[in-house]
Amino acid sequence: MDALRDGVTVLACMTAPSAADAIGDLFAMGAERWQLGGMLRAIVEPRVVRVLCPSCRKQAEVQSQVASRIGLAHSASYPVYAPGACKSCAQTGYAGRTGVFGVTYVDGDVQRAVRAGEVGDAFAQRLREAGLELLRAGRTSAEELARVFRQ
């Protein structure tokens, strides 16, 4: 914290369930809300999702519970895919993993939220948007995003 106060650029990695929890941990380490709002420049919240096998993925309907959990309008205007099963993916329906990164640049609105201690949904929304991009591209399934966003 002293280096940050002195104007030194610090890149830090924290393990926390969410970006909002990481900010709470910084408060617990002694950072003041008014200081932290001015010190942060960006927060990256990573997750790993399974990638659908391109050989056997199949178009599917999204259940309403899953759609609401991932923030998807129930009638998506693009095809949504689910895992299939084939030899190339060893009958799993998935072929590897990829990262989903919710990147939040700390601008005036986010600074005010940090200073007020109200950081909950601002970061989760960026992560969901990044996950929905993978869904639109047909690279992962709605159920996989729901598993990752279950928190």
pLDDT 10s digits, 79-135? 899 999 999 999 999 999 999 998 888 787 777 777 776 766 667 788 888 999 999
- pLDDT for position 33: 75
Query: In whole numbers, what is the pLDDT of the chain averaged over residues?
Result: 83
CATH topology assigned to domain 2-148: Rossmann fold (3.40.50)
- pLDDT for position 4: 58
Ranges of each domain in the chain: 2-148
- pLDDT for position 95: 95
Q: Is 26 in a helix, a strand, or coil?
A: helix
Rounded to a whole number of angstroms, the distance between the first and last alpha carbons of the chain is: 29
- Mean pLDDT calculated for residue range 42-56: 92
- pLDDT for position 11: 74
pTM for this one?
0.78
